[in-house]
Amino acid sequence: MTYRYHPIGAKPINLGQDKRAAIQKVLDLNGASNDAGTIEELWRTYQTMPQWKRLGERTKEDYAKYSVPLLAVMGKVSARLVRPADIARYLRVERADAPVRANREVALLSNLMTVAVERGDIDVNPCKQVKRNLERLRTEAPEPESFAAFIAWLTAQGSQRQVIALMAEFAAMAGSRRIEFLHLTLPQIDSIAGEIRTTRAKQHGGSTRVESISITPKMEDLVRRLRALPRPDTCLHVFTTRDGNPYTDTGFASTWQRSMAKALEEKVITRRFTFRDLRAYYTTQHKAQYGELPELHADVKTTARVYDRSRVSERKGLS
């Protein structure tokens, strides 16, 4: 069975075999359609659901950014009409200039399509039938000499860049994500117990994973300098702005990018590295010092694949 629309005084329009899709097309033709079932409506619905509320604030912010180009292309389209070929075109053609970002946007689209499946709008999530763009993982971490030179230069730039330098040192020595220590407080640093307690940003299974970072002699020197930072008497945050407030993620990222650009311009360093690369720096140095990878993920294979930037593989020969 097929459906057709017969406008008065014009040729019939083929509407296909899907009754619901045919009705939607008729409504669209007559300007009487609401946006029920469109990607835009699914995005609004997704933000009211429990799975959205379980996401971290950083992830929500990222999804909001990913939604902008996605909705610009697909926002008005009904989920029932989106085919795997359309998603492949979005990845390879529409967003050819940003292939990695396109993968993130389609990951969001996949979540929206899952909502449509659960709601009964569609039977299959088309995103699961399309291969994502190839992503090349970063393969380098800053060398210790280059990192030390950058920290020394950053410390000499003024009080606020000194704070950024201390954040970079902490990330390089503890291996924590920025979001895990951006709002670190003094009570979390327990020199008597010899540990710094943070909460892992990416939780799985609904449980909260606390990380205990041992305070080595080198870390104790960093802790001493952190405690000596100027801050209001009532402030317990370790890393603060001139106003005594903790850094926002956006504010920190902006300062870091400007500092990195200036350091390259003044030839303090010869190659740019990201703040995330400091987690790789920690992993690589940890392996060199202790002979094993640190526990950064539930699966050590993930740590090895994403963060181990060792350039030499060592193994013993037969005796």
Greater confidence (75 vs 20) lies with 75
Least confident range from 232-241, 250-259, 295-304: namely 295-304
Domains of the chain: 34-129 (1.10.150.130), 144-307 (1.10.443.10)
pLDDT at residue 31 in the model: 53
**How many beta carbons lie within 10 A of that of residue 212, not counting itself?**
11
pLDDT at residue 93 in the model: 95
Kindly tell me if the per-residue pLDDT of 113 is higher than 70: yes
Q: Over range 194-209, report the average pLDDT.
A: 76
Question: What pTM does this model have?
Answer: 0.70
pLDDT at residue 311 in the model: 76
pLDDT at residue 33 in the model: 53
Q: Model confidence at 137, in pLDDT bands (50, 70, 90)?
A: confident
The string over 11-48, giving b where at least 16 C-beta atoms fall within 10 Å of a residue's C-beta and e elsewhere, is: eeeebeeeeebbebbeeeeeeebeeebbbbbbbeebee
Q: Model confidence at 186, in pLDDT bands (50, 70, 90)?
A: very high
Calculate the alpha carbon distances from 49 to 43, 57, 101 in Å: 10, 15, 24
Kindly tell me if the per-residue pLDDT of 24 is higher than 80: no
pLDDT at residue 30 in the model: 63
pLDDT at residue 9 in the model: 78
